Structure formats: structure tokens, C-alpha cells
Structure 1
Amino acid sequence: MRTDTRAWLTIGAAALACAPGIAFRFAGYHPPAIAGALTFGIAILAAAFLLSWGAETAEMDISQGLALAIIAIIAVLPEYAVDFILAWKAGADPAEAERGLAVANMTGGNRLLIGIGWPLVFFLFFYRTRIRELVVDRERSLELTFLAVATAYVIFIPLRSHITVIDTIVLVSLFLMYMFFTSRVETEEVELVGPAKAIGALQAAPRRLVVVVLLVYSAVAIFASAEPFADSLVHIGERFGISEFFLIQWLAPLASESPEVLVACLLAWRGRAAAGMGVLISSKVNQWTLLIGTLPIAFLVSAGEFGWTLGLPLDSRQRDEIFLTAAQSAFAIAVFANLRMSRAEAAVLFGLFATQLFITNEHARVLYGLAYTILCVVLLAWNWRALPRTLRDAVTIMQGRELAPGDDLAAEEQAEPARPAP
């Protein structure tokens, strides 16, 4: 009983920590930059805890894949809010369109997710277990397959001068198909701990009500706090003379991407690193399909125009940014083609991202994109035996059938005992 009481007090404390961010946003009050960053940052952190507890408990009633997808959708709301505003401004003002801030924010958020989020989850997993490879569930084959299809499509967008309504139809359709197939994965029994365990101990009806309230409340907190948190970071950066493009591409996404990264890290810290990585993979699918696909709509509605070949304009810099982001995505897919990530692969993902973070030279971006592409080809060639297995699992899931146990390398490694650190 004492444990349950402590768990509910923890839930209450997290909910209270979200309240100032929600209240300030709806009251229209903007604290000074540093105070705002702390207030809204704490609200996002607390909402991430609530989101993780609610989503873990939701796995009692829906599939893990669908629960992770719901987490991804809620956690990525800040990125949508910021990018929609930037795309809307670009449609209303040609000068804003020339600055390319919507694409800067979108590409920065996507590269941060893979360049920092994926390695961070791995190294938390390694720190806790000393296991050199993180093996994700075979159900992640579905996300990886859709991510591969979306990446194969997006990587050709830089050959054109606009992101158009046709891109909207293709990418949004991919997202809807992904959500449909994810919802068909059967629910598995989960072992809850901490606050999630206290929620799970409730009867079915009140448990589901609490889960819905937690998910909705955390979504409101994240949506309300992310944009002012990003603005606070931008204002702090401006004091140090940092360029607006750099701030929009990196500092603003650092704020908007923090919810899903925090949720994934919390899951990894509690021994569910595979589920944590699943959150980030699902978030990447979400952003790489629905987010990119809806930007032209926001732009065209604001501009008051419509046409199949019209949309968000791209200059040479923006096309380079999309190519680099797509190439990084392709390499990340190659890393998980065999459903596992090694220490070396996590280090390369982080190292390539960190070294190109402050390089603004156009030729350097293209070279990094080519480096990602070459590494993708090399890694796919190295792991070619795993590709049919991963694709077969994805097809099996889409057909609504259960995955046969022990028919691929990932399943075998999941069953191996933990290996001691060297």
C-alpha cells in the first residue's frame, strides 16, 4: 500500500510540474528567457514521465507497437507546432519562404533524433547492462520497412524545386498505412513497475480512463510548453550572437525533440531499451512521412494557392539539407537492418552528426551526405543475410499473422544470456 501511495504521489507531483507551463502559455505570459527555459523545460520533462507511464500501462490493452506509435505522435507534437508556424509564415510572406526556416527546423529535428537520440538510448542500455549490442523486437521490422520506403522517396525530393501536394499524398498515405498495420499487432503481456504498476493495478475501466487522462494531459503540456521553451532557447542564443538559421535548425528542435528522447531514455533506464528505441524509430517514421507531407498544405493554405506542382519552395541550401538528412536516415536504417545496433554503429551515428553540426559549408553537407550513403551501402552489403528475414517479418505483420519464433538472427540473440563487459 505504501508503495502504491508513493507511486500516486509521484504521478501527482509530475502533473503539478506541468501546470506552470500550461498556465503560462494559455495566459499569454512569457517569462524572461532563462526563467522561461527552466519553467517550460521542467514541464516538458514532467510530461515525458507521465507519457511514459501512461503508454506503458496502455500496453495492457493495445499492442506495444501501437502504444509506441501513440507516444511518438504525442511527443512529436511540438515539432509539428513549430514547423507548421514556420511553413505558414513562409506561405504568407515570400521573404520568409526564402529564409527556408521550415525546412531548417524539419531537417534539424530529424537529424537530432537519429544523431543524438538513437546513440543515447544505446549507451544508456550499455551502461545498465554492459551488453555490446542492442537487439530490438522483431515487430520493429514494420517501422524499418516503412522508414526505408519513405527514405527512398524523400531522397529524390532535392532533385525538384518544391515539396508538393503529390509528396503530401504519397507520404501521408505511407503514414496511414503504417498506423493501420501497427494497430493489427497482437498485444503482449507486459511487466509494469513504479507508477505504471500502480495504474495497471486498477480495474479495467478506471485504468483506461487514467491512461487517457495522462496521455491527453501530457499532450497538452508538451504542446503548450514546447514553442515557448524553443523561443526561450533562441533568445538565449541570440544574446551570444548565434545566427537565426542555426538556432531554428538546432536549438528549437532540441526543445521540440526532447519529449520523445526523454521518454525513450526513461524506458531504457528502466530496462526497456528495445521499447525506448522503438519510440524513436516510430517517431522517425512519423516525422519522415506525416510531418514532411503536411508542410506543403500549411504553406499553400497560407499562400491562398493550390496546384499539384505547387508547394514549399526549396533553394540549393534546403535541397542539400534534405539530401543530407535522407542520407543519414538511410544509414540509420542500414544499422538496424539486422534489428540490432552495436557500440561501433552507435558511435559512428553520433560522431558523424556531432562533427557536421557546426559546419555550414555547402560542399561539406554534400560530402557528409555522400559519406552516409557509402556507409549505408557497405553496411547493407555486410548484413545482406539479415535483409530477407527483416523484410519477411514486416510482410508477416502486414498480413496479420503471428511471427514464428526463432526463425531469424534477432530472435536467437534475444534469447542469449547477457555477456559481461570486456
Structure 2
Amino acid sequence: MQTPTFIKVLKLITFTFLAVAVLALGYYLKLKGVIISAVIIFAAVLIGYGAEVLELVLPSGVALAIVALLQISPEFFVEWATVKKAAFDPAFLHNAMANLYGANKLLVGFGPPLVFFVYYFFSPTKKENYIKFHAIKSYSVFVMIFGIAYNFIIYLKNSLMWYDSIVLIAIYFGSVFFIGRMELHYSKLKPSAQEDGPELEDSAVEKLIHKFVIVGEKVNAYRAYIASFIFLATGGALLVGFAEEFLECLLHAATAAGVSTFIFIGYVAPFMSEFPEKLVAIGYAMKGHADTAMVNFLSSILAQLTLLTAMVPLAYSYYKGTPTGIVFDAVQSQELLLVIAMMLYSLMLFLDLKFTIRETIMALGLFIWQFVMPESRDTVTKVYFVLFLSYFLEMVLEKRHTDVIETVIKPKDICRD
């Protein structure tokens, strides 16, 4: 028997009341950090809902790219706050870069294993000990090459300047345009490649949204845009108002706990601000759409490698009052090289459009290693590069792991299969 709508609404009101009560209690107990953290997570969840609604009215590949960008937008607000502080306090620049590269490491190292384990243990449609990507996802994997390549150029020149932002922004939007064009071309060659759209029918909130945006059996685009705007605007307003206070709370928490601010800002902040990304990916994986969940992460990684990185020198220049940039110190340079190594290794894993349990365990193990022992970043980086080279040589010498390249270069041949 289906739960009546008024019961769902009552549950939602009850949950909201309890949440407000907890926040009020935190206020009276002077638990400012708890309140601010709850607000940031709540804002991130609102943006996640707004992104999901928007996905109902956008084409597949472009939708994933735009939605992934919206899902990680809270991280942009937090990074902006760290860069603003660094512009007036040069000693804080180390933490601003820690947040940038920590966010990338978290998505690359923790995201894919998270999707795999949720899919493996909780999806009712699990059939194999691996995740197999649909061929149409090849384009989302392929464009990662361009973001990685320019970040390597940034590493070689040991600086992140305002003009790098122009190139990075162009790479992102060029990639989105390329994905849209190629997926449309692929779909024309093979109409069956079109996938089912996302579903908003799990929680009480999602069912209420579904009732609002669905008229008859079709999505009402006008209503979907309105609902999406309300969620995104509300979440964005909360982030604008509380991002800086959230940063200050993290700094105080790190000091009180005796933990390095590098760890707090590099991992705790992005973990909380990227909450909607993880939530949506987990939802996809539990429904059996593990490849969509994985591409969702890849789209977010591309956005962070390009747009988030581009925002840093632009924000820094804005608060400095002149076009400028950031010259890396030894640690920042090592962190960037580690991110590049992680990305290259992950890219090789996805080139065969498959993610296995062995690769999952290896990827998670390496991430935990560099998280627990940050001082070993140089050694971990070398391990990532060795693994990347071994996969690359295997691909070249034995002609394996080329599904993505074949799909991009010869889509007609793939569509005949």
C-alpha cells in the first residue's frame, strides 16, 4: 500500500522541526561549529536536489557535466573563502591550495571506490564483480586527458597565473561541447544507445518534487526549471552567507583538536561541501546505474581540474587588486604532481570502460596511504606513475584498454557491434 501524500508531508515537517530544534539547541549551547556545518550540508543537499531536477530536462552527457558542476558548487564557495583569506594573509596560501588539491584527491581517490562498494553490496541488479561502462560514456572519459595535460603544464611552470584561468575555462566548456556533439552523433548512429533518464522517486522529498514537475506522464520543463532555481538559489544564498564562517569554524576545530589545518581544510572541508555529489552518486549506484554514478564523479573531477583551479588565480587577483597568480612552494608543487599522478592512473583504469574489484581495492588502498601518511606524498606519487606507465605500456604493446579511444576515433565501427 502506497503511503498517502499527507503522511509524507507530515514526515517532512517533523524532520524539519527536529532539525530546527537541534540547531536551536546548538545555538544556546554555543556550538557554533555544529550549526554552521549543518547549514553547509543543508545547502549542499538543496543544491543536489536542484541539480537532479535540472537533469530531468537536459540531454544525458551535457546534463551530467552541468549537474556535476552544480553538485560541487559548494566547494567553489569554500575555496573562494580560503583564497580571500590568503590574499590578505600570505601565510594562509598553503591552506587555500590544500583545499583545492584535497578536493581533487578526495574525488579521484575516494569517489570511484565508494561507487563500486555501494553498487557491489547494495545494488539489487549486481551481476558481476566489476562495473561496465556504456560505450556512450567514452567521451566523458576521453576529455579528462585535456584537463590533466594542462595541469601538467601548470606543474612544469610551477605557477598558477590569471591567464591559466582562460585556458582552463576554455577546456571545460570545450569538453562539454565536445561531449554533447559526440553523444548526439553516437546516438544517431546507434539509437538504442539512449539511456533511461534519472528517477526522482525514493525519498519523501523526491516524490514531492516528482509530483510537481511531472504533468501526466511527461516532465514539465517550465516547472522543472522553477523547482531547480528555487533549490539552487536557496542553497547558493546559504553558502554565500556562511562559507567564510564555515572556514573559520574548521580552523578553530583543527586548533582545538590539535590536528593540522592542512588535514581539516584539505579533506574535511571538501568532504562536507561535496556532500551532494556523493549523495547522488550513491543513489545511482544503489539503483544499479553504477556507470552513470562513475561518470558523474568524472564530470565533477573535470570541473574541479579546470573551473575550480581557474577560480583560484581569478579570486586571488580580485582581492589583490591586480592581475596576478600564485607561485608554488615545494609542498604545493608536490601536491599538484600527486593529483596529476592520481588522475593519470585513474584514466588508465577507465580506458577499457570497466572498473574491477581489484582496481577498486588498489585505488582505495593508495588513497588511504597518502591520506594517513601525507608526508609520504613523494613516494605515493612515484607509485601512481609506475602503475600508470605499466598500464600504458600494456595498452601500447598488447593493444588492450583501448575501448574509449576506439569509440572516440571510430564510433561507426563500434556501433556495428
Aligned counterparts, 1:224-303, within 5 A: 228-229=245-246, 231-303=248-320
Alignment of 1:113 onto 2:107: yes
Aligned counterparts, 1:19-418, within 5 A: 31=27, 35-43=31-39, 50-97=46-93, 100-129=94-123, 130=126, 131-184=128-181, 185-186=183-184, 188-190=195-197, 192=199, 193-194=201-202, 195=206, 197-202=210-215, 204=220, 205-221=222-238, 228-229=245-246, 231-306=248-323, 310-361=324-375, 364-383=376-395, 385=399, 387-394=401-408, 405=415, 407=417
Cα distance in 1 for residues equivalent to 2:17 and 2:134:
35
Counterpart residue type for residue 301 of structure 1: Y
Q: Which residue of 2 aligns with 1:420?
A: none
* Compared CA separation, residues 143 and 231, structure 1 to 2 (3 A): farther
Tell me how far 1:91 sits from its aligned partner: 3.1
Cα distance in 2 for residues equivalent to 1:252 and 1:89:
15
Cα distance in 1 for residues equivalent to 2:333 and 2:29:
33
* Compared CA separation, residues 121 and 219, structure 1 to 2 (3 A): farther
- Tell me, what secondary structure is at the counterpart of 1:379? helix
Cα distance in 2 for residues equivalent to 1:15 and 1:301:
39
Tell me how far 1:125 sits from its aligned partner: 0.3
TM-score (norm 1): 0.79
Residues 231-276 of structure 1: CA deviation (Å, up to 9, x unaligned): 4444333222112223222222222222212221122223332222
Farther-moved stretch of structure 1 (172-181 vs 285-294): 172-181
Q: Structure 1: 5+ residue runs without aligned partners?
A: 25-29, 408-422
CA RMSD of aligned residues (A): 3.5
TM-score (norm 2): 0.80
Cα distance in 2 for residues equivalent to 1:188 and 1:222:
33
Cα distance in 1 for residues equivalent to 2:168 and 2:159:
15
- Tell me, what secondary structure is at the counterpart of 2:135? coil
- Tell me, what secondary structure is at the counterpart of 1:338? coil
* Compared CA separation, residues 107 and 246, structure 1 to 2 (3 A): same
Tell me how far 1:389 sits from its aligned partner: 3.3
- Work out the number of aligned pairs and report it: 390
Cα distance in 2 for residues equivalent to 1:302 and 1:149:
29
- Tell me, what secondary structure is at the counterpart of 1:253? helix
- Tell me, what secondary structure is at the counterpart of 1:134? strand
* Compared CA separation, residues 224 and 277, structure 1 to 2 (3 A): farther
Kept in 2, the 8 Å contact 1:60–1:189? The answer is: no
Cα distance in 2 for residues equivalent to 1:387 and 1:341:
11
Cα distance in 1 for residues equivalent to 2:51 and 2:120:
24
Tell me how far 1:302 sits from its aligned partner: 2.0
Cα distance in 1 for residues equivalent to 2:17 and 2:234:
11
Q: Which residue of 1 aligns with 2:189?
A: none
Kept in 1, the 8 Å contact 2:48–2:277? The answer is: no
Tell me how far 1:10 sits from its aligned partner: 6.7
- Tell me, what secondary structure is at the counterpart of 2:300? helix
Tell me how far 1:324 sits from its aligned partner: 0.7
* Compared CA separation, residues 188 and 126, structure 1 to 2 (3 A): closer
Cα distance in 1 for residues equivalent to 2:412 and 2:51:
23
Q: Structure 2: 5+ residue runs without aligned partners?
A: 185-193
- Tell me, what secondary structure is at the counterpart of 1:155? helix
Structure with greater helix share of residues: 2
Identity rate of aligned residues, in percent? 25
Cα distance in 1 for residues equivalent to 2:51 and 2:16:
15
* Compared CA separation, residues 89 and 223, structure 1 to 2 (3 A): closer
Cα distance in 1 for residues equivalent to 2:415 and 2:237:
40
Kept in 1, the 8 Å contact 2:81–2:247? The answer is: no
Cα distance in 2 for residues equivalent to 1:191 and 1:85:
33
Cα distance in 2 for residues equivalent to 1:265 and 1:69:
17
Kept in 1, the 8 Å contact 2:74–2:239? The answer is: yes
* Compared CA separation, residues 142 and 41, structure 1 to 2 (3 A): farther
Cα distance in 2 for residues equivalent to 1:225 and 1:264:
25
Cα distance in 1 for residues equivalent to 2:138 and 2:414:
14
Kept in 2, the 8 Å contact 1:77–1:222? The answer is: no
Q: Which residue of 1 aligns with 2:191?
A: none
Kept in 2, the 8 Å contact 1:229–1:255? The answer is: no
Cα distance in 1 for residues equivalent to 2:388 and 2:12:
43
Tell me how far 1:113 sits from its aligned partner: 1.1
Cα distance in 2 for residues equivalent to 1:174 and 1:12:
44
